[in-house]
Amino acid sequence: MANFLQIEEFLKVKQIPHQIVDLGGEVFTVDQVKKTGVEEDEIVKTLVIKTNNNFIALVVRGCDRLDFKKVRRLFGPSTALRVNCELAKADEVEKVCGVPVGAVCPILLGVPLYFDRRVMNLTHVNIGSGDLTKGLEMKLSDLLAAVGKYQVEDLVI
């Protein structure tokens, strides 16, 4: 769990190339990010999911919708028991990530991280930065180096 200053310091120390994007005010949604001039095809969102009292983060393209059936199959038991799987509530996101919904950054997050396979086709990404007024822009390869441990799965409709 990290805020903007911690994430920026980490990127500088690790010498990971990135650009800070001024969003011109607090931005909470992909549509609001698009209105700031960020390339729509590069927007990537980090969603925090609660599965049976555990939290995970799913990184998907901004234009994609999560497929909860796929997510349940991925994280559910192999028995007939149904896994509880839902978006974390705003207060849970704040508690787990230390930042509000809309500002979640996959870097230094501290929960298991899963990238949708479609994100892997991108060259450049624009992600949350830990601050609702700023975004981070970088090459996907640099983002993957920054997050370290992650899995790639099919997560969207």
pTM, 2 dp? 0.94
One of 3.20.20.140, 3.30.465.10, 3.90.960.10, 3.30.450.40 is the CATH number of 4-153, namely 3.90.960.10
The b-or-e profile of 12-48 (16+ CB within 10 A means b, else e) is eeeebebeebebeeebeebebbeeeebeeebbbbbbb
Average model confidence (pLDDT) for the chain?
Answer: 94
Task: Tell me the pLDDT tens digit for each residue of 27-58.
Answer: 999 999 999 999 999 999 999 999 887 999 99
